[in-house]
Amino acid sequence: MKTILASGAAASTLIASSAFAGGMDRATFSPSILFEQGNYAEATLGLTLPSVSPAGAPHAFNVAESFTTLKFGYKHQFNDKLAVAFVYNNNPIGVDINYASLGSPLRGSVDSTSATLLAKYSFTDRFSAYGGVKHQWAKATADLTPNGIPEPTTFSKDSDTGYILGVAYEIPDIALRVSLSYESELEFDLDTIGAGSGTNYGATTAGSPEAYTLEFQSGIATDTLLFGSVRRAKWSDSNIILPAAFGSTPLSNFEDTTSYSLGIGRKISDAFSMSVTLSYEESGAEPVSPLAPTNGIAGIGIGGAYTAANGVKTSMGINYSKRGDAVTSAGTNFADNEVITMGLKVSKSF
């Protein structure tokens, strides 16, 4: 059953994207690549189209810009016990906010990339442990003159290395797998440079949060798979803090987030499978950061996967989510927000 249902799980993973989720999350960690059969390679492309505007305003007043995510992964199975994987992601965290449509110069852009090296050791056919290191880079630009900064700024590139640990339990005969992953916090010190004067105002601190992720899947009937996840991210410890020259003022007020997903995958034929996923992220306190002017998520996604005769699997999915109304720290009320994410993944075991 595990082999039969794998394609449905792949499609569902694609559409259960965390793009534009709590804090600055855009692509969260999953150990799933370590559990693919044999040697394995994948490439994933995602496009996110947010619509975030003040209450009663038309789409033309959208302050959130669209973005893409790109991920490459390769896993090598050395023997029955040991597997190693490498994953590159061009946008694990990020921000693309521009308030020009509201007559404000406030804007911010945070870009990141990450490279993750993982290893999994199987003690038996049921128990395994995995771990690895993740190195992540971050940089930013912003116009924060509404926040009292005297000029637009750029933020130098910085990086940090963290670690990942996890354990998993499987029952292959019923495609059951439960995994629990831990990710350590990453911290960035970004020199804050005046775009016009070249003045270095000191380091702005930012980060990627400590997080725990529980993932599960299980066959519940012939050719049918139930799957889901729970992720807790401590974003309250990874806020963006301006340098001492500007009073060490928090530029964001992110809160800890808990995200849930639940879905079902179904094999339609030997080559084709489909899945449906529900996603939810609970709302937090207000006001929220102008960098992330929504509060809570409720979404649904559908996906499909087709495996060609040569073993190449193509998975596609689309996710639609409503984003909760929110009032920012600047007093702007955002309502009727929504996000559409589309994804394409090509993969092969060999």
Residue-wise pLDDT tens digits, 196-248: 999 999 999 999 999 999 999 999 999 999 999 999 999 999 999 999 999 99
Instruction: Name the nearest CA neighbour of 169 among 122, 126, 123.
Output: 126
- Which 3 state secondary structure label does DSSP give 301? strand
| Ranges assigned E (strand) in 123-271 | 127-143, 153-171, 176-183, 186-194, 200-208, 211-221, 224-233, 257-267
Q: Which residue type does 64 have?
A: A
Residue ranges of the chain whose pLDDT lies below 50: 1-13, 16
Distance CA 140, CA 105 (A): 16
At residue 245, the 3 state secondary structure works out as helix
What pLDDT score does 268 carry? Answer: 93
In our burial notation (b when 16+ CB lie closer than 10 A, e otherwise), range 271-280 reads: eebbbbbebe
Distance CA 134, CA 159 (A): 10
Main-chain dihedrals φ then ψ at residue 7, nearest 5 degrees: -65, -40
Which two structure tokens, joined as six digits, stand for 80?
């029955």
- Supply the CATH classification number for the domain 2-349: 2.40.160.60
What pTM was estimated for this model as a whole? 0.93
List of long-range contacts for 296-300, beta carbons under 8 Å, 24+ apart: 296/323, 296/324, 297/21, 297/22, 297/259, 297/321, 297/322, 297/323, 297/324, 298/322, 298/324, 299/339, 300/276
Query: Nearest CA to 204 among 236, 161, 238?
Result: 238
Measure the CA–CA gap between 233 and 23, rounded to whole angstroms.
9
Q: Tell me, what's the pLDDT at 19?
A: 61
Query: For the chain, how many helices (H) and strands (E)?
Result: 1, 19
Chain Cα centroid distance, residue 109: 16
For position 4, what pLDDT does the model report? 43
CA gap 150, 245 in Å, rounded: 11
